[in-house]
Structure 1
Amino acid sequence: MNTEHLVKMANQIGAFFSTMPDHEQAVADLATHLKRFWEPRMRKAFLEHIEQTQGQGVDPIVLEAVSKHMRQLTV
């Protein structure tokens, strides 16, 4: 799985949700989006990238969504 592509996609999704007026809701909705629309292999590869690189290249809102909703994303 191309993690560069996953990071790019996650950051694009994060940019969309970052425009929401309620930051906490944006973070929760971003995590929900990843859970709903990314297949498990994509989520697994993305989470492994974050773990191995300490989130290199991943925008702060995406890292926040992943850290706050890790349990939701790994199920």
Structure 2
Amino acid sequence: MNIERLVAMANDISRYFESDPDQAAGATGVADHLKRFWEPGMRKQMAAHLAAGGEGLEPLARKGVERLVEIDSKLHA
């Protein structure tokens, strides 16, 4: 999938979780959503995009993707 589209989708998801006053909980919500509903290939693309700088990701989306990368790395360690 086009990375610009994935970034837009991640940003849309993060906007839903922005209402949570606890930013850590919001980031976890984003990560959980990506883990549950995105295909592994989409998550890998997003992780690679983050590693390359994460251009276009809004702050909460970035934190959520960072959390997702942490979760995935623990699962594959």
Task: Pick the TM interval, shorter chain.
Answer: 0.7 to 0.9
Calculate the TM-score normalised by the size of structure 2: 0.83
SS at match of 1:32: helix
Pair 1:51 & 2:18 matched = no
Q: Which stretches in structure 1 are left out of the alignment for 5+ residues? A: none
SS at match of 2:26: helix
Distance 1:63 1:34, change over 3 A: same
Paired AA for residue 37 in structure 2: F
* Paired-residue identity, %: 39
Alignment-derived partner of residue 28 in structure 1: 28
Write the mapping of 1:59-70 to structure 2, written as runs, cut at 5 A. 59-70=58-69
- How many residues were matched structurally? 74
Helix, strand or coil for the counterpart of 1:33? Answer: helix
TM-align CA RMSD? 1.5
Counterpart-to-counterpart distance in 2, 1:68 and 1:29:
10
- Could you list the runs of 5+ residues in structure 2 that have no partner in the other structure? none
**Paired residue for 2:12?**
12
What is the Cα deviation at residue 15 of structure 1? 0.7
- SS of match in other structure, 2:56: coil
